[in-house]
Chains A and B, each alone.
Chain A
Amino acid sequence: MRAISLVQKLEFEFSGNIARNAVTLGDLDNDGCNELVIGNDEGVIAIFKGKEKIQTITGLTFVACVEIGDIRNEGKNSLVIVTADGWCHIYEVHSQEEESTSDEAEINESVDEVDGQGPSSAAATTETQSSSESTLDSDLKNTKVLKTPLVCVHIQRIPANIKNLLLGDVDSDGQIEVVVGLTDRVIRSYRFVKNPCKTTNDFFKENAKPEEKFLGKLVAINKWECANQIGSITLHHSYNGRPSILVGQPGGTFMRIRCQMDEGEEELNRSDGSNNGNLPGSIDYQFLGISRMRNPNISTEILGDLKSYASAESVGKIGESTNISPPYALATLDGTIMLVQDEVILWAIAVDHQVFALTKLDVTRNGSDDIVVCSWDGQTYILDQSKNSVRFHLEEPVRAFQSGWYYLNPDQPSVTALVYVTFKNTIIIYYDIPLKNLICKKFEPDEATLSQLFVDKSRNPEQALEYVKNMDKKSKAELVSSLLYDD
């Protein structure tokens, strides 16, 4: 397998135990540039932008998951932190310039889904004071990068022992839902319901107690129980854009939850009048028949919605093929990596390393997502959807891994990044991965160009081209070599 060594890297110090899902790349401050957020077991969250740490949030409990997304459905990103003991914190950047626009957005948005209950009592009783240090640091550079620090806009008690967090529109209603996976095989979904009387500005202007000015709350929608331990959860869309939640189950299998019902069913439900926002989903288990015997005890990672260059192309070509869903990837801890499309395994490879992290990133920038997997011992495999692979070895054990886009400088375009959290209290970001192509090819000279050399009295251009085409590889290589290197 082709291997590469990487040069360009950033290193940050960050101590503590880091949960696998407590590291993410996303645009926190809504400036179009991604930041890196990481949390540890001591309840410290660090936010990195470019080449520096811009903020630290302390005073939380064991950070189990962090995610960046538009949880409040306001058209701007928030940082969602879920701790192992069941606290969900939402942090946001509140910028003055946004005020007028966000006011308008507030008015335009429908707030009909609010039920009359006040903020949950749990949130009110415990006040986790989260101090943001960056302003105190009086570091001019820092304040320049992030004009306004992140502030906590919401705290709520949700069940404890959450290990996976997903923000996404799981029922295609245009709103972002929160899906969490728990260590006790349960999947729950929530929706952030706004308090109609409160606007973002009120939150910052009022002097009232924090619990009184919450902008809304997370309302539970659904609960599903899986048969086995949850590996990871992901959102996937089928060819017609219908979303489903895929839950990795041991042994390379998964459970699929469809929150949105088939159109027929939906209408049926409506006529019953039983449908009041709580959409019951349909569930099915997929075992993905594979010839290789799989260990049913091995944990499975799953990742949906891989952007596919091939499918996009075929859609353009033939109208019929629009009913091909994007592929999704599975990886098991015993080192099997699979690409699956419509429950058919397109390919599977086995590696000798314990694969624990499965991410996607268009490393080659060809419009098609590549699968980036990482094993505990630092072996990283970059695979494209045609099974071509490149290996990179971080010669150090890895605690958590993430891949994505990162910005070194807001003025520069984004770069691909591999984020490793090591056991030596460092975060290593390898950026701008220099891979244009996953396959390494021999140089093939342009035949038309070479044929110009053979146009003479005995050969016209067509004959010369024919002559070049008939040359064997070795003499072509010799010709190229003599052209390039002989004086």
Chain B
Amino acid sequence: MEQFKDAHYFHIPSQGNVYTTAELKLANDKLLMLAASLKREIFSLEYLEAPAGLVPSTKEIPFTYIPSGAEIISLDAFNKSLSTNEVVIGITIIKNSNDSDSLETFLNIYSQLEENDEFDIENVAQNCLTVELNFIPYKLMHTKFQEETVFLLSGSDNLVHVYRENPQDHVFKEIQDREVHFPEFEKTPSPVVWIDILHYNNERITAFSCECGYVKVTKVDTNTNKRLYSFVTRFANHVPKVQLYLDKNHVNLVVVNATLPPALFRNISKYGLSDYVTLHRLDDGTVFTTCLVADVDFDGNKEIIVGTSSGELFMYKYNETKWYLEEVKFMAAPVLSLNYGDLSGDGVKELVVSSMIGIHVLQHDPVFIQNKLKQLILQKSVIRRPVAEKEEEG
């Protein structure tokens, strides 16, 4: 991660949590980061283009129906369409009323009323639909479901709830036949902390982890809603994140355990949760909070970056035989979540680290990218050349 350079630090006045950042991709391929803080402020972070370079911009968005005294638990956003801006933003809040016994929790869903090419997030923030919850919300995320995008929300009632938009009246409602459409979400022993979903052909692979360390991976055929396989394992303690990823057509799963070393389960479709390796931990003094799987050095193999509560980022690399700790990078504050997206709009993704004090954007070193591009193009032309020659022969 030596090649990552500090590009910008967006300060956030009060701390967020592992659920309070969301990427939002707009129709013109522009990427925004939304970040919420405990004290009700929600910021939109983006890069504006200026002749001299990139100008970072932070805007506080006044979302309606977030009463004073409420606290934001989780945030998620998506764009329903690929070509236009049909943005939907979901925010879960907890309202601490004067009567200390009653905690009211809500899922607020914000969406743009009319379709408009001009995207105005403040416009979206004014159009709110409130769903009252009878549980304490945890992770809010979205996924594809029958050509639609639905919200998934895990809660303190040990269930995962699915909210789907009614196309007639544009109202989000919890689907009642969840067991039919999402057979993987059965009642769990403790609240679901993290969910990751991978869509793969006509199959949906869902992994989720619970507060108590229960981890389940299920593959569902999305046409028949039949479970193709389901594997369960139990870790000794809290599992803050599970991440599925495809590597050479194998489905792998990274399980970040709070106090134990992260575990990587390989080729789940073939071996279930039996073929695993653990990633070496540097010390036992910190809590692992999050992870990111991406090829950040463009060598064709994915790296695993794990964030910790003492503000470290560990990068693990695979060297044909084993996973090893390649590098440690220190951040200014405990790491809450990691994203890898092209905020700058130049084709090269940035590593976006959300920490207790704000959002840190780390940019790839341009010289490094330039050299990598040269290498990649050379590799491509080596592959292409024999083909071209053959064509000439023909």
State A457–B333 Cα separation when bound (angstroms): 55
**Which of B70-78, B86-94, B279-287, B371-379 contacts the other chain?**
B371-379
The residues in B between 321 and 372 inclusive whose CB is less than 8 angstroms from any CB of A are: 330-333, 342, 344-349, 357-358, 360, 363-364, 366, 369-370, 372
CA distance A477 to B54 in the complex (A): 15
Task: Give the interface of A toward B (CB within 8 A).
Answer: 1-8, 388, 393, 434-436, 439-446, 449-450, 452-453, 456-457, 474, 476-481, 483-485, 487
User: Are B56 and A483 in contact, with the CB atoms below 8 A?
Assistant: no
**CA separation between A427 and B348, bound complex, in Å?**
39
Q: Which residues of B contact A7 (CB under 8 A)?
A: 311, 330-332
| Cβ-defined contact, A2 with B332, below 8 A | no
Query: Do the beta carbons of A442 and B330 come within 8 Å of each other?
Result: no
Contact B11–A450 (Cβ < 8 Å):
no
A377 to chain B, nearest CB (A): 13
> Contact: A440 with B54, CB < 8 Å?
yes
Residues in B with CB closer than 8 Å to A476 are 347
Contacts of A478 in B (CB 8 A): 347
Q: Can you list 13 A-B pairs with a CB-CB distance of less than 8 A? A: A3-B56, A7-B331, A393-B11, A440-B54, A442-B344, A445-B370, A449-B373, A476-B347, A477-B342, A477-B346, A483-B377, A484-B347, A484-B372
* A484 close to B373 (CB less than 8 A): yes
Query: Would B8 and A3 count as touching, CB distance under 8 A?
Result: yes
Answer whether residue B390 sits at the interface, using C-beta atoms and an 8 A cutoff.
no
Beyond A449-B373, A450-B377, A484-B369, is A2–B348 a contact (Cβ under 8 Å)?
no
Q: Determine if B270 is an interface residue (Cβ-Cβ < 8 Å).
A: no
Query: CB distance A479 to B9 under 8 Å?
Result: no
Within 8 A of A (CB), among B1-41: 5-11, 29
Structural contact, B6 and A484, CB atoms closer than 8 A? no
CA distance A148 to B6 in the complex (A): 41
Q: Which residues of A contact B363 (CB under 8 A)?
A: 440, 443
Q: How far is the CA of A279 from the CA of B286 in the complex (A)?
A: 66
CB distance from B227 to the nearest CB of A (A): 29
B298 at interface by CB-CB < 8 Å: yes
CB distance from A467 to the nearest CB of B (A): 15
From A388, A453, A479, contact of B347 by CB (8 A) = A479
Contact B56 A453 (CB under 8 A): no
Residues of B near A449 (CB, < 8 A) are 370, 373-374, 377
A474 to B345, CA, bound (A): 8
Q: Who on chain B is nearest to A477 by CB?
A: B347
Pairwise interchain contact B8-A480, C-beta atoms closer than 8 A: no
Task: Determine which of A393, A435, A442, A452 lies in contact with B381 in the assembled complex, contact meaning CB atoms within 8 Å.
Answer: A452
Could you tell me the distance in whole angstroms from the C-beta of A308 to the nearest C-beta in chain B? 19
State whether A441 and B9 are in contact (beta carbons under 8 Å apart), knowing that A5-B332, A450-B377 are contacts in the complex. Answer: no
Who on chain A is nearest to B392 by CB? A457
B82 within 8 A of A: no
Chain A nearest CB: distance from B133 CB in Å?
35
- Chain A nearest CB from B358 CB (Å) reads 7
CB pair A442–B345 under 8 Å, yes or no, is yes
CA distance A480 to B120 in the complex (A): 29
**CB atoms of A8 and B342 under 8 A apart:** no
- B388 in contact with A484 (CB, 8 Å): no
**Do B381 and A453 touch across chains, with their CB atoms under 8 A apart?**
yes
Interface of B is mostly: mixed
Extra A-B contacts (18), CB below 8 Å, given A5-B357, A444-B366 = A2-B55, A3-B11, A7-B332, A434-B5, A441-B366, A442-B53, A442-B344, A443-B346, A444-B346, A445-B347, A445-B369, A449-B373, A450-B377, A452-B378, A453-B377, A477-B347, A481-B342, A484-B298
Instruction: Tell which of B5, B9, B348, B377 touches A5, judged by Cβ atoms closer than 8 Å.
Output: B9
Do the beta carbons of A477 and B345 come within 8 Å of each other? yes
Q: Looking at the assembled complex, report how far the CB atom of B28 sits from the nearest CB atom of chain A, in whole angstroms.
A: 9
Residue of A8, A434, A441, A487 with most partner-chain B CB within 10 A: A441
Between B9, B311, B342, B363, the greatest number of chain A beta carbons within 10 A of the residue's beta carbon is seen for B9
CA distance A450 to B388 in the complex (A): 18
Chain B residue nearest to A449 (CB atoms) is B374
Flag if A439 contacts B380 (CB, 8 Å).
Answer: no
Q: Which chain B residues lie closer than 8 Å to A444 at the CB level?
A: 346, 366
Q: Report Cα–Cα, A452/B348, bound state, in Å.
A: 20
Docked-complex contact A439 and B52, CB < 8 angstroms: yes
Contact present for A443 and B330 (CB under 8 Å): no
B346, A484: Cβ atoms under 8 Å?
Answer: no
Chain A residue contacts of B357, Cβ below 8 A = 5
- CA gap between A456 and B55 in the complex, in Å: 39
Note all chain B residues with C-beta closer than 8 A to A436. Answer: 5
Chain A neighbourhood of B360, CB < 8 A: 5
Tell me whether B345 and A5 are in contact (CB under 8 A).
Answer: no
Residues of A with C-beta under 8 A to B29:
474
Q: Does B49 lie at the interface of the complex (its beta carbon under 8 Å from any beta carbon of A)?
A: yes
B333 — nearest CB in chain A belongs to which residue? Answer: A5
Asked whether, in the complex, the Cβ of B346 is within 8 Å of the Cβ of A434, the reply is no
Determine how close the nearest CB of chain B comes to the CB of A168; give it in whole angstroms. 35
Cα distance A412–B374 in the bound complex, in angstroms: 34
A200 to B7 Cα, complex, angstroms: 52
Contact A443 B380 (CB under 8 A): no
State how many angstroms separate the Cβ of A452 from the closest Cβ of chain B. 5
A433 to chain B, nearest CB (A): 10
Q: How far is the CB of B305 from chain A (nearest CB, A)?
A: 16
Residues of A within 8 A of B346 (CB): 442-444, 477, 480
Closest-by-CB residue of A relative to B346 is A442
Q: In whole angstroms, what is the CA distance A3 to B55 when docked? A: 10
CB nearest to B298 among chain A residues: A484
Residue numbers in A under 8 Å from B52 (CB-CB): 388, 439
The residue of chain B having its C-beta at the shortest distance from the C-beta of A439 within the complex is B53
**B-side contacts of A439, CB under 8 Å:** 52-53
Closest CB of chain A to B84's CB: distance in Å?
17
**Knowing A440-B53, A441-B54, A449-B370 touch, does A5 contact B331 (C-beta < 8 A)?**
yes
List of B residues within 8 angstroms of A479 by Cβ: 347
Contact of B373 among A6, A474, A483 (CB under 8 A): A483
Most chain B beta-carbon neighbours within 10 Å: one of A443, A445, A483:
A443
Rounded to whole angstroms, the CA-CA distance of A453 and B380 in the bound complex is 8
B49:A484 contact, CB within 8 angstroms: no
**A388 contacts which chain B residues (CB < 8 A)?**
52
Report B2 CB to chain A, min CB distance, Å.
11
Decide if B330 touches A8 in the complex (CB within 8 Å): yes
Return B393 CB to nearest CB of chain A, in Å: 13
Q: Smallest Cβ distance from A407 to chain B, in angstroms?
A: 20
In the A-B complex, the 6 residue pairs with the smallest Cβ-Cβ separation, listed nearest first, are A480-B347, A477-B347, A442-B346, A481-B347, A439-B53, A5-B332
CB–CB B347/A2 < 8 A: no
- A479 — nearest CB in chain B belongs to which residue? B347
| Chain B minimum-CB-distance residue to A446 | B370
Q: How far is the CA of A7 from the CA of B9 in the complex (A)?
A: 12
Partner of B344, one of A434, A443, A452: A443
Give chain B nearest CB distance to A427 CB in angstroms.
18
Question: Given the complex of chains A and B, what is the CA–CA distance between A481 and B349 in angstroms?
Answer: 8
